[in-house]
Amino acid sequence: MKLNTLLLLAALNWVFFGLGALITPAYVIPDNSGNELALILVRHMGSGAVVLGLLAWFTRALPDTDARRLIISIIFLAFALDGLINVMGIIGGVLPSSDWIFASIDILFSLGFGYFRFIKPE
């Protein structure tokens, strides 16, 4: 897989999740019991996901390799932290065990970006 393909997939992942969190936050956390603060936090998280998705999207056409390396490091860190937070939530019983799929996606993206950043840099 090429780095540009990985960036495209990461962009789509973040933008779709972010738009879902912005437009329908109650479906992201269905057991919110009318908690407006939780809905606002989900929307805030969604806006951050959209921004990261746009960053990944526009990085695909970035010619400067130093800037690309820095952005790939940031994306690697973002996916690694997301995966860690999901795993901790599942193990702690806060998230359902069905969320292993999301943790796995984050970890796979993290491994992919780690590969292109540290093992096979441009």
The domain tally of the chain equals: 2
Q: Are residues 24 and 71 in the same domain?
A: no
Domain shared by 21 and 74, yes or no: no
Q: Are 29 and 77 within one domain?
A: no
Domain boundary among 61, 83, 99: 61
Q: How confident is the model over 34-86, as pLDDT tens digits?
A: 788 888 988 999 999 999 999 999 999 998 788 999 999 999 999 999 999 99
Q: Is the domain of 81 the same as that of 51?
A: no
pLDDT 10s digits, 85-95: 999 999 999 88
**How many whole angstroms separate alpha carbon 60 and alpha carbon 111?**
18
pLDDT band at 4 (very low <50, low <70, confident <90, very high): very high
Range of the domain at 32: 1-61
Mean pLDDT of 5-13: 97
